Amino acid sequence: MPSPPAFSSAQKAKRDLGVRLGELRRNAGLTGRALARLCDWHEAKVSRIENGKTSPSADDIRAWATHCDAADQISDLIASMEAIEGMFVEWRRMERTGLKRAQQSVLPLWERTRNFRTYSPWIVPGAVQTVSYTRAVLRSFMERRGLPDDVEEAVKVRADRLRLLHEGDHRFAVLLEESVLRTVIGDSEIMAAQLGHLIAVGDLPSVSLGIIPMGIPRNSIWPVEDFWIFDDQVVNVELISGFLTITQPSEIAMYASAFGRLSEQAVYGAPARRLITAAIDALD
């Protein structure tokens, strides 16, 4: 079975590093068994690293390069390893000191991005959230993941990003499944205010808001994972276990293509407002 697209960037990068290490070993005239013996490893470890099945540690890379007479490449190899590790970050590692730090970590990317594309099948994206909705979402994350309570500080950081809707030449293309409108976050009052806010921001010149109606045929593309595309440079994917960063052009193109096909199934303008209004009415 092929790997899910969401993980393939990290896996490919891991395999590429393994290939590079394998070349160093062969150039040094060493078999995998000989290198394992020199490093005092189980002989299967060399094969697993070269095939991208095991991630080497910094100490592993130092030992490998040293025994392959490639000590001059250690710094570069470790930098590659650290970049791979940064592609997928578990929430528990990103948020170990609380939610504020996690919110601050994405600010530089948001500041330099001009064209945002975001798709969500389950929650209103942060760029078009109300403060109350954001607070309810982050408090839920804090409680579920057992994090320190810095929700109010994190809310302030998230709220500061909302100025990008109104300044500069930032453009936001937002796609939501209609089910997002029907999922009550916080309580009915918070949700009603959030839905009303969606109608308001949908009229901003910087925002394109599309809603994919429930009940339509989904033969072309069905709901996928929550993702953000920042210009054509980076894709962020939010998974249950962690946060994935994709920078490989071919995979960014895959997400851009998916966004395009999802966009074709969405409604905009007055039809989108009618779906939002119907969700508000359903709250009553």
Can you give the CATH number for the domain in which 59 is found?
1.10.260.40
Residues present in the chain in total: 284
- Verify that 81 and 99 share a domain, yes or no: no
- Verify that 154 and 256 share a domain, yes or no: yes
- Verify that 69 and 28 share a domain, yes or no: yes
- Verify that 81 and 100 share a domain, yes or no: no
CA distances from 241 to 92, 187, 252 (A): 8, 26, 21
82, two tokens: 């650290």
pLDDT at 93: 67
- Verify that 9 and 135 share a domain, yes or no: no
pLDDT at 15: 87
Biggest CA-to-CA distance, the chain? 75
176, two tokens: 């939501």
pLDDT at 9: 63
Can you give the CATH number for the domain in which 187 is found?
3.30.870
Closest CA to 140 of 91, 182, 176: 91
- Verify that 208 and 245 share a domain, yes or no: yes
Which residues are within 8 A (CB) of 5 and not within 5 positions of it... i.e. 6 or more apart? 251, 254
Domain end (from 24, 53, 87): 87
Count: domains in the chain: 2
pLDDT at 86: 66
Query: What string of H, E and C letters represents the secondary structure of the chain?
Result: CCCCHHHHHHHHHHHHHHHHHHHHHHHCCCCHHHHHHHHCCCHHHHHHHHCCCCCCCHHHHHHHHHHCCCHHHHHHHHHHHHHHHHHEEEHHHHCCCCHHHHHHHCHHHHHHCCEEEEEECCCCCHHHCCHHHHHHHHHHHHHHHCCCCCHHHHHHHHHHHHHHHCCCCCEEEEEEEHHHHHCCCCCHHHHHHHHHHHHHHCCCCCEEEEEECCCCCCCCCCCCCCEEEECCCEEEEECCCEEEEECCHHHHHHHHHHHHHHHHHCECHHHHHHHHHHHHHHHC
Domain end (from 38, 63, 87): 87
C-alpha–C-alpha distance, residues 283 and 182, integer Å? 8
pLDDT at 29: 96
pLDDT at 25: 95
- Verify that 127 and 50 share a domain, yes or no: no
C-alpha–C-alpha distance, residues 59 and 200, integer Å? 54
pLDDT at 91: 65
pLDDT at 23: 95
pLDDT one digit per residue (tens) for the chain, 284 residues: 344 444 456 777 788 899 999 999 999 999 999 999 999 999 899 999 999 888 899 999 999 999 999 999 998 888 778 767 767 776 666 677 789 988 888 889 999 999 999 999 999 999 999 999 999 999 998 998 888 899 999 999 999 999 999 988 999 999 999 999 999 999 999 999 999 999 999 999 999 999 999 999 998 889 999 999 999 989 999 877 677 888 777 788 999 999 999 999 999 999 999 999 999 999 97
pLDDT at 2: 41
Domain end (from 38, 61, 87): 87
- Verify that 102 and 78 share a domain, yes or no: no
Q: Are 242 and 91 in contact (CB under 8 A)?
A: yes
pLDDT at 5: 45
pLDDT at 38: 95
pLDDT at 282: 96
pLDDT at 79: 75
Q: How many CA atoms lie within 13 A of 265 on its CB side?
A: 21
pLDDT at 192: 97
- Verify that 176 and 212 share a domain, yes or no: yes
- Verify that 72 and 105 share a domain, yes or no: no
Q: How many CA atoms lie within 13 A of 63 on its CB side?
A: 15
173, two tokens: 């293309």
- Which domain range does residue 52 map to? 5-87
- Verify that 70 and 164 share a domain, yes or no: no
- Verify that 58 and 162 share a domain, yes or no: no
C-alpha–C-alpha distance, residues 64 and 37, integer Å? 11
258, two tokens: 């998916």
